[in-house]
Amino acid sequence: MFAKTFWKFLVDSLGIQTDFIQLKYLVMKWWNTNYKNEAHKLILQFSPIFICWTLWMNRCARKYRGKQSNIARVKFSVFKDTFKMLHTFSSLHHLTFKLEETCTPR
């Protein structure tokens, strides 16, 4: 339930219709979504990877080390990784964008 709640938050923020589809189809739909600008394209390409990795690490920490997490911590981790990726790519490729035009957080 934790992972579903988190995925729902993100796909809603990026305007992707889910219709309760399986994860592999959601990621394919995510990658094929029309993007608004180059920054949005990068977010759509990399975010599913960041999300899967963060949720997997969170799951393993809970299962094997007894660590509890929450949605806010996972959101922060994914947003931090996304911001680092955008910062790296923008300095490498001189991307200019307005984040508010890229996604609408809820």
8-38 pLDDT tens trace: 777 777 677 767 678 788 788 878 888 888 7
* pLDDT value, residue 64: 93
pLDDT digits (tens, 9 = 90+) for 49-89: 888 898 899 889 989 999 888 888 888 888 888 888 887 87
* pLDDT value, residue 93: 59
- The total of structural domains in the chain comes to 1
Answer whether 47's CB lies under 8 Å from 10's CB.
yes
**Domain range enclosing 66:** 2-102
Q: Residue 11 is encoded by which pair of tokens?
A: 């796909």
pLDDT at residue 2 is higher than 90 = no
Half-sphere exposure of 73 (CA within 13 A, CB side): 10
Q: Which long-range contacts (CB under 8 A, 24 or more apart) does 78-87 make?
A: 78/10, 78/47, 78/50, 78/51, 78/54, 81/50, 81/54, 82/43, 82/46, 82/47, 82/50, 85/42, 85/46, 85/50, 86/39, 86/42, 86/43
pLDDT at residue 48 is higher than 90 = no
